[in-house]
Amino acid sequence: MIGLSDFLIVSAGLFCVGLYVILTKRNAIQVLIGIEMMLNAAILNLVAFGKYDRFNNGGQMFALFAIVLAAATTAVALAIILNVYKKYKTIDPNEIHELKD
């Protein structure tokens, strides 16, 4: 079978790619995609560790919770991004530096 370390290395790579996307991309939707990548790396870790507990399976359970939370986050974040675009006519995070109205 596949060892634990293989899963963890893949998830570490995915996490770092997500970090790079968040740090470099210049529009908010791509930053959101980077956040999703990091969340998915965390979920992969949960699932990989959850393999060693058949009765309580906390890993898979909290992976499910994390997926649902990611869905909620994305819905709210996209609504916020659309509103920011309506107000500022840009979704570049560098250009939105006044949050008070």
Interacting residues with another protein (CB under 8 A): 1-10, 12-21, 23-24, 26-27, 29-30, 32-33, 36-37, 40, 43-44, 47-48, 50-65, 67-76, 78-83, 85, 90-91
User: 9, 32 in Cβ contact below 8 A?
Assistant: no
The distance of closest approach from Cβ of residue 100 to another protein in the complex, given in angstroms and rounded to an integer, is: 18
The distance of closest approach from Cβ of residue 98 to another protein in the complex, given in angstroms and rounded to an integer, is: 19
User: 20, 29 in Cβ contact below 8 A?
Assistant: no
Q: Which lies closer to another protein via its Cβ, residue 3 or residue 98?
A: 3
Helix (DSSP H) and strand (DSSP E) numbers for the chain: 3, 0
Q: Where are the beta strands (DSSP E) in the chain?
A: none
User: 8, 48 in Cβ contact below 8 A?
Assistant: yes
Q: Which lies closer to another protein via its Cβ, residue 8 or residue 97?
A: 8
Q: Which lies closer to another protein via its Cβ, residue 1 or residue 100?
A: 1
User: 16, 65 in Cβ contact below 8 A?
Assistant: no
The distance of closest approach from Cβ of residue 93 to another protein in the complex, given in angstroms and rounded to an integer, is: 13
